[in-house]
A = this chain, B = another copy of it.
């Protein structure tokens, strides 16, 4: 999950010399970084983070109509946030008649969580 990278020793050098050797950044990590940043970005809004918190707490699926009164935002804004979470692959939804039920996709946060700890 972390990169293999040898950095040049850190020490003051005379100006005119290179302060450090250029380092090659392995491409392996880049894909993971892009994916994890995508997830982190989706969590980078207080309302979306709280949405995920509520959904995670309930093992089952949660109806949108139960989510709306939790926040001081309009229904359309909430729907927008849910779409962001869907696009990031963090949650998914099921339609049942008029209602839409949302749930956190298992292991969606696993990669980021593992990297952070």
Q: A53 contacts B25, CB within 8 Å?
A: no
Copies in the complex: 2
Q: A69 contacts B37, CB within 8 Å?
A: no
Q: B46 contacts A43, CB within 8 Å?
A: no
Q: B15 contacts A34, CB within 8 Å?
A: no
Q: A7 contacts B62, CB within 8 Å?
A: yes
Q: B50 contacts A43, CB within 8 Å?
A: no
**A106 interfacial by beta-carbon distance below 8 Å:** no
Complex Cα spacing A66 to B33, Å = 19
Q: B70 contacts A50, CB within 8 Å?
A: no
Instruction: Point out the residues of chain B lying under 8 angstroms from A19, CB to CB.
Output: 63, 65-66, 99
Minimum-distance CB pairs A-B, first 5: A41-B44, A113-B116, A40-B43, A22-B69, A19-B65
